[in-house]
Amino acid sequence: MNEILHFSHANGFPAPCYRVLLNRLAEFCDVRSIDRLAHNPVYPVTDNWQQLKTELIHYFEHNYRRPVIAVGHSLGGLLSLMVTAERPDLVRALIMLDAPALTPVQARGLQLMKWLRMADRITPAGRTEGRRRQWSSTEEARHYFSGKSLMKHFDPRCLQDYVDYGTEQNGQGVTLRFDPDIEMQIYRTIPHDLILRTPLTVPAAVIGGEDSKVFRRVNGAWMHSRLGMKVRWLPGTHMFPLEHPDQTADTIHQLLGQML
């Protein structure tokens, strides 16, 4: 019986945008996902992502009869960590992709910036506000996305998947599937209270991008020393799962072989 691997996506990137990575993972696991986190009105975006954590817990409870391998990128990685910390009975193993568990100093700094309503200065929220969400055609959308710094290093297959699965047709052309207003709220409510100091009770690992500006060496060291997590690094930025999807899948496979 194949292990069930539940993949949770990054903010702004519906799960099907990871088609190349997920298809590669499906060669050795039964891969499942939620199409778009934070879009179910039953689980609205709240401070410290408490309802989003509940959304993932409820999904695991209602859809899986055994613990699953929880893999998540960025937003999805942190939510997977939150579920693992609160409900380890639901998780067989955890692998986070460029998702930093904050050190106490970082957490206090984030809390202060949120209290001062200055979170937009240290998160991508400021860049998300007012972002373009409509294009006349998929061709125009692809040209636009290919010029964005966040996506300029994407594997061509993943860039096309973002065009295909990150947008949808409407009467005027194509529009984003992930609501930018929800994306912005997620950035503004990043958890400052997730301060874990003891090892997790399930096997866990984190993979960071060597050029990431989100997941830093200090976070990798903290997660290894305090949470007992394996730490690996791959070429690429914060978006390395969409820049190097095959290498990411192979590294996940190798880690699971060591952890399970």
For helices 138-146 and 156-165, what crossing angle results, to 10°? 130
**Cβ proximity of 33 and 22 under 8 Å:** yes
Q: How far apart are CA 65 and CA 253, in angstroms?
A: 23
Q: Residue 243 is encoded by which pair of tokens?
A: 């820049």
- Residues in CB range of 248: below 8 A, 6 or more apart: 21, 97, 207, 234, 240, 241
- Cα-trace Rg, the chain: 17
Q: Give SS3 for 5.
A: strand
- Summarize pLDDT for 205-219 with one digit per residue, the tens: 999 999 999 999 999
Is there a contact between 176 and 65 (Cβ–Cβ < 8 Å)? no
pLDDT tens per residue across span 87-127: 999 999 999 999 999 888 888 887 777 777 766 666 665 56
pLDDT exceeds 90 at position 28: yes
Of the candidate ranges 81-85, 104-108, 142-146, the one whose mean pLDDT is the lowest: 104-108
* Domains within the chain, CATH numbers bracketed: 4-259 (3.40.50.1820)
DSSP-derived letter for residue 120 is G
Report whether 241 contacts 215 (CB < 8 A).
no
CA gap 190, 169 in Å, rounded = 31
Which pLDDT does position 95 carry in this prediction?
Answer: 98
Q: What pairing do the DSSP bridges indicate for beta strands 167-170 and 173-176?
A: antiparallel
**CA separation for the pair 207, 69 (Å, rounded):** 15
Position with higher pLDDT, 121 vs 236: 236
pLDDT, residue 120, reads 63
